[in-house]
Amino acid sequence: MNRWILHAETLEVPMKQGVDIRDITAQLGQAIQASGVRTGTLNVTVVGSTGSVTTIEYEPGVVEDLKRAIERLAPPGLDYEHEKAWHDGNGHSHVQAALLGPSVALPVRRGRLVLGTWQQVVLINHDNRSRSRRVEVTVMGTG
């Protein structure tokens, strides 16, 4: 009989001013190893309204393409209602992050993330300033 495991940990990832994209796949793999989960699910969530998490092929061309696409979707410098209230210059950051979303859930099989050959998990800072992003990781399943 397999035992049920619930493992939680927090990553702190230093990020440059947005759009900054970082591969966090290795750190997530380490969390799975630390958990002892062989079959289950990994949930990863960035805390804050100007960060997001997704998967891409983490290579320079795709990273640059994604940055450009994000900036086309919600470019800085437009008239955002958020700016009228807060005057902090990051209205676009909130919209960009909301479009991509704060979290992903991924399968764990044989103690490893199930990802495509060229697929990595990335953390994105959309904010108009550098910051350390807190990422909550939960691994659950059986050992």
**Confidence class of residue 1 from pLDDT cuts 50, 70 and 90?**
low
Q: Taking 80 as the threshold, does the pLDDT of residue 94 lie above it? A: yes
Q: How many CA atoms lie within 13 A of 77 on its CB side?
A: 3
Task: Tell me: pLDDT of 83 over 90.
Answer: no
pLDDT tens for 20-46 read 999 999 999 999 999 999 999 999 999
pLDDT tens profile 52-72: 999 999 999 999 999 999 999
Closest CA to 109 of 76, 131, 64, 141: 141
Mean pLDDT of 89-96: 94
What is the pTM (predicted TM-score) of this model?
Answer: 0.95
Task: Give the domain ranges of the chain.
Answer: 4-142
Can you say whether the dihedral through the CA atoms of 140, 30, 103, 8 is positive or negative?
Answer: positive
For 124, phi then psi, to 5°, come to -125, 130
User: Domain 4-142 - what CATH class?
Assistant: mainly beta
